């Protein structure tokens, strides 16, 4: 059967060249798009680690100094810090609130973060350093990889200074040790001269679905007085302290954040600090993802992919339409000598699929060469044989489906020909 179709294709090579050329170009383009989508899919399905249901963020703002009700504090006054603590305490005492977490440049789905480095032997790893309060783990439902609860994890957080402990994410353990049961092992952090002992390994965490590098995280204990002393914080910097809280289950409603803010607005003002916004963290995530460049390029690539597929569809349907007309006599003869209608239809569809397969061979050579030239991104996965074959098979299937659709109608028309009428043309 295949040999027979090959002969047919060869005998009409002229009218097939254009379709073949187009299939070749489109195959190469779609191959890379398929790879892109596959890698995005793999990346997005890796765990992010943060549980966001019932989680809200309270955004703290500072009154500007030209505001009439601005209070001028003396330099070095602890009052601004107390004001922040007052706001946190008032949120904590709200009956709906289960737990409040504090952090400093350490929230998921944000662009701001603190970088650091860890060493093991001679391997250096760039990591994200998160300063969080013990309850942060309860807010986001992060436990230790060995099944420990968020509370236990929080109790192990090392302070910012004078400690030889370190809490790391599963990502660091996997990259540096190749396993996650590494409690008690040693690591060097930043410019340390004495090693640190790993006291806990958290579940895998990442900044967001698209992030690759940010799964390497070390956690430290957030303490406002200590941080204020270290960083010479001014009142303005207090707005960088992030307040997140989890409400009790069953409370959430569509506009809970807005309701909470309206109810608490007066109470959540202290000195020059005030809570300007309460955001549902699900929404923070949705906004972050919707506006991330990856989502944009995915939309763009989808549109481009659709464009190329429709072009293939039109090319194939047009070519086969004319082919059926021109080969009426041949098809009539086939029927006369006993081809069934479905046999005729199968012949035409098979011809389309075989054309695709013929175009695929040189196209794969092109792809292979491009892969050789390191055009492929290897940030998610190394470019191996498995990936190459999967992507090739997927690309073939997608195009095969489109070609099947495109040949179906002309081939049905061919199979519906009346043999007598078709032979008439002979």
Partner 1 sequence: MYKQYLRQAWQLMKQNRFFSAVYIIGTGLAISMVMVMAVVYHIRTANIAPEVNRDRMCYVTNVSFNMNDDKGHLNSCVGPRFAKEVMYNLKTPEAVAVATMTQMMPFTVGDVFMQAPGHDEAPKVSLMGCNDQFWRVYAFTFEEGKPFTEADFQSGLPRAVLTESLSRKLFRKTEVTGQTVLINDVKYIVSGVVADVSGVASDVCADVWIPYTSMAVIMNKMADEKEGSANILVANILLRDADDIGLLKDELAQEVKRYNTTLTEGQVTCNDPVSYVDQMVGSLLRMDVKQTYMTLSIVLLLFLLVPALNLSGLNTSHMQDRIPEIGVRKAFGAPRGTLMSQIFVENMLLMLPGGVAGLLFSYVLVFLFRNLLLSSGVFAMQMGTGGSIFLSAGMLLNWEVFLYAFVVCLVLNLLSSMVPAWRAVKVNITEALNA
Which residue ranges make up the site for partner 1 (CB under 8 A)? 14-15, 17-19, 21-22, 25-26, 29, 59, 61-69, 239, 276-277, 287-288, 291-293, 296, 299-300, 303, 307-308, 310-312, 314-315, 317-319, 321-323, 325-326
Q: How far is CA 71 from CA 74, 90, 189, in A?
A: 10, 21, 41
The CB-of-32 to partner 1 minimum distance in angstroms stands at: 11
Q: How far is the CB of 389 from partner 1 (least distance, A)?
A: 25
Within its chain, how far is the Cα of 375 from the centroid? 21
- Taking the complex as a whole, how short is the minimal distance between the CB of residue 315 and partner 1, in angstroms? 4
Nearer of residues 183 and 309 to partner 1, judged by Cβ: 309
Closer of 64 and 162 to partner 1 (Cβ): 64
Axis-axis angle for helices 79-92, 224-231 (nearest 10): 150
Min CB(289)–partner 1 separation in Å? 11
Q: Are 143 and 149 in contact (CB under 8 A)?
A: yes
Do the Cβ atoms of 204 and 47 come closer than 8 Å?
A: yes
Judged by beta carbon, residue 32 or residue 50, the one nearer partner 1 is: 32
Q: How far apart are the first and last CA of the chain?
A: 25
Nearer to partner 1, 198 or 403 (CB): 403
CB of 349 to partner 1, least distance (A): 18
**In whole angstroms, how close is the CB of 337 to partner 1 at the nearest point?**
26
Nearest CA-CA partner of 393 in 366, 362, 357: 357
What does the DSSP assignment read for 372-425? HTT-S--SSS---HHHHHHHHHHHHHHHHHHHHHHHHHHHHHHHTS-HHHHHHT
**Identity of the residue, 194 or 303, whose beta carbon is nearer to partner 1 in the bound complex:** 303
Between CA 209 and CA 181 the distance in angstroms is: 25
Cβ proximity to partner 1: between 42 and 314 the closer is: 314
Q: Which residues contact 336 (CB under 8 A, 6 or more apart)?
A: 419, 423
392 closest CA partner among 359, 418, 425: 359
**Rounded Cα–Cα distance for residues 134 and 114 (Å):** 18
- Least distance from partner 1 to the Cβ atom of residue 360, Å: 16
In the complex, what is the shortest distance from the CB of residue 335 to partner 1, in angstroms, rounded to a whole number? 23
Whether 161 and 190 have beta carbons less than 8 Å apart is answered as: no
Q: Supply the minimum distance, in Å, between the C-beta of residue 314 and partner 1.
A: 5
Query: CB-wise, 318 or 346, nearer to partner 1?
Result: 318
Q: In the complex with partner 1, which residue's Cβ is closer, 29 or 358? A: 29
* Residue 19 or 217 with smaller CB distance to partner 1: 19
- Taking the complex as a whole, how short is the minimal distance between the CB of residue 426 and partner 1, in angstroms? 15
In the block, residue with structure tokens 């910012």: 160
Residue closer to partner 1 (CB basis): 155 or 361: 361
40-78: b (≥16 Cβ within 10 Å) or e: beebeeeebbbebebbbbbebebbeeeeeeeeeeeeeee
Q: Which is nearer to partner 1, 179 or 326 (CB)?
A: 326
Contact 59, 392 (CB under 8 A): no
In angstroms, what is the minimal distance from the CB of 326 to partner 1?
7
Nearest by Cα to 197 from 163, 156, 166 = 166
Cα–Cα–Cα angle for 296, 298, 304, nearest 5°? 105
């Amino acid at each position: 059967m295949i040999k027979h179709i090959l002969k047919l294709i060869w005998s009409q090579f002229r009218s097939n060249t254009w379709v073949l050329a187009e299939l070749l170009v489109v195959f190469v383009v779609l191959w890379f798009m398929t790879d892109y989508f596959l890698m995005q899919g793999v990346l997005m399905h890796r765990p992010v680690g943060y549980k966001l249901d019932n989680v809200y963020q309270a955004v703290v703002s500072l009154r500007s100094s030209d505001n009439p009700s601005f209070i001028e504090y003396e330099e070095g006054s602890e009052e601004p810090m107390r004001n922040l603590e007052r706001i946190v305490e008032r949120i904590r005492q709200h009956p709906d609130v289960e737990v409040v977490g504090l952090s400093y440049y350490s929230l998921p789905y944000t662009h701001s973060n603190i970088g650091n480095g860890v060493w093991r032997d001679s391997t250096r790893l760039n990591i994200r350093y998160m300063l969080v309060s013990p309850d942060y783990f309860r807010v986001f439902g992060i436990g230790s990889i060995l099944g420990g609860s968020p509370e236990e994890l929080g109790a192990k957080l090392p302070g910012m200074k004078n400690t030889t402990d370190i809490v790391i994410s599963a990502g660091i353990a996997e990259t540096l040790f190749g396993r996650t049961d590494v409690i008690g092992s040693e690591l060097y952090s930043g410019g340390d001269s004495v090693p640190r002992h790993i006291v806990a390994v958290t579940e895998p965490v990442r900044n967001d679905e698209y992030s690759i590098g940010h799964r390497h995280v070390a956690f430290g204990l957030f303490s406002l007085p200590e941080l204020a002393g270290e960083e010479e914080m001014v009142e303005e910097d207090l707005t960088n302290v992030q307040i997140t809280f989890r409400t009790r289950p069953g409370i959430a409603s569509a506009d809970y954040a807005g309701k909470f803010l309206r109810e608490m607005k007066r109470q959540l003002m202290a000195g020059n600090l005030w809570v300007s916004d309460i955001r549902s963290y699900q929404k923070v995530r949705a906004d972050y993802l919707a506006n991330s460049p990856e989502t944009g390029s995915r939309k763009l690539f989808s549109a481009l992919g659709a464009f190329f597929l429709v072009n293939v569809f039109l090319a194939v349907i047009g070519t086969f339409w004319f082919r059926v007309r021109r080969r009426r006599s041949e098809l009539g003869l086939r029927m006369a000598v006993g081809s069934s209608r479905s046999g005729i239809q199968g012949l035409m569809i098979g011809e389309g699929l075989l054309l695709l397969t013929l175009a695929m061979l040189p196209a794969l050579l092109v792809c292979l060469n491009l892969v050789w030239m390191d055009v492929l991104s290897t940030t998610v996965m190394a470019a191996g044989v498995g990936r190459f074959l999967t992507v090739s098979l997927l690309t073939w299937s997608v195009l095969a489906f489109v070609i099947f659709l495109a040949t179906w109608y002309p081939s049905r028309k061919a199979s519906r020909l009346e043999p007598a009428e078709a032979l008439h043309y002979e």
